[in-house]
A and B are shown apart, each in its own frame.
Chain A
């Protein structure tokens, strides 16, 4: 099983600042089958990024993903008020599919 470790656990930032979230895998994620999701309280997760760097339909370009192998990054270039949420990475290249434990982006 691939274990995904996200850091930091909580990121305290102000609107307009840049957010950098990390996701590290215990073994290489095949074909960069790595996704990022955003989850707000009481809502289902929302797909942001797939294939490590491709934005899902309707996702603003302030969200970008990068990385390969075992190290992946989600960057939010300028935080908007609606971006404060919990973010999860997920690998879907091997079974079982696994998620990271999440990074909470909170308002400073």
Chain B
């Protein structure tokens, strides 16, 4: 059974960089043609797609965040990561990692449990 687990600091100061890692277990991050994504959800609000990555390093980003986002993959550790720079209170959210069903033109079927990141001094 595929499992995804987010990890990283739960509190980040304004103007700093948010860094999260998603560890994949029960399957290889570099198998088949899977894409892997990050999605966030501010408290009490809806879902926002941040970006997605293929194991080869190909990335797609949401233009609204593109200037501040970097998603990378480490196949040796079966992990992929999110960095969001210059954070503000508006970046406070539950951050989820997830897997696209197969390729880029697919929805998200496996999700991590999510991790709350609060931006505050």
Contact of B114 among A1, A44, A57, A100 (CB under 8 A): A44
Q: Verify A101–B64 contact, CB threshold 8 A.
A: no
Separation in Å of the B102 CB from the closest CB of chain A? Answer: 11
CB closest chain-A residue, reference B48: A99
CB closest chain-B residue, reference A94: B105
Separation in Å of the A24 CB from the closest CB of chain B? Answer: 15
| Bound-state Cα–Cα, A43 to B96, Å | 10
**B112 within 8 Å of A by Cβ?**
yes
| Bound-state Cα–Cα, A33 to B107, Å | 8
Q: Mark A85-103, 1 if CB is under 8 A from B, else 0.
A: 0001010110111111110
Q: Which residues of B contact A96 (CB under 8 A)?
A: 49, 61-64
| Bound-state Cα–Cα, A92 to B52, Å | 12
Q: Verify B105–A97 contact, CB threshold 8 A.
A: no
Q: Verify A50–B46 contact, CB threshold 8 A.
A: no
**A81 within 8 Å of B by Cβ?**
no
Q: Verify B106–A92 contact, CB threshold 8 A.
A: yes
Majority DSSP secondary structure for residues of B touching A? loop
| Bound-state Cα–Cα, A37 to B109, Å | 9
| Bound-state Cα–Cα, A33 to B104, Å | 11
A101/B46 contact (C-beta < 8 A), A44-B96, A44-B113 known = yes
| Bound-state Cα–Cα, A18 to B119, Å | 41
CB closest chain-B residue, reference A43: B113
| Bound-state Cα–Cα, A2 to B97, Å | 22
**B111 within 8 Å of A by Cβ?**
yes
Q: Which residues of B contact A92 (CB under 8 A)?
A: 105-107
7 A–B contacts, CB within 8 A, in A order: A1-B63, A44-B112, A45-B47, A47-B101, A50-B106, A57-B109, A97-B52
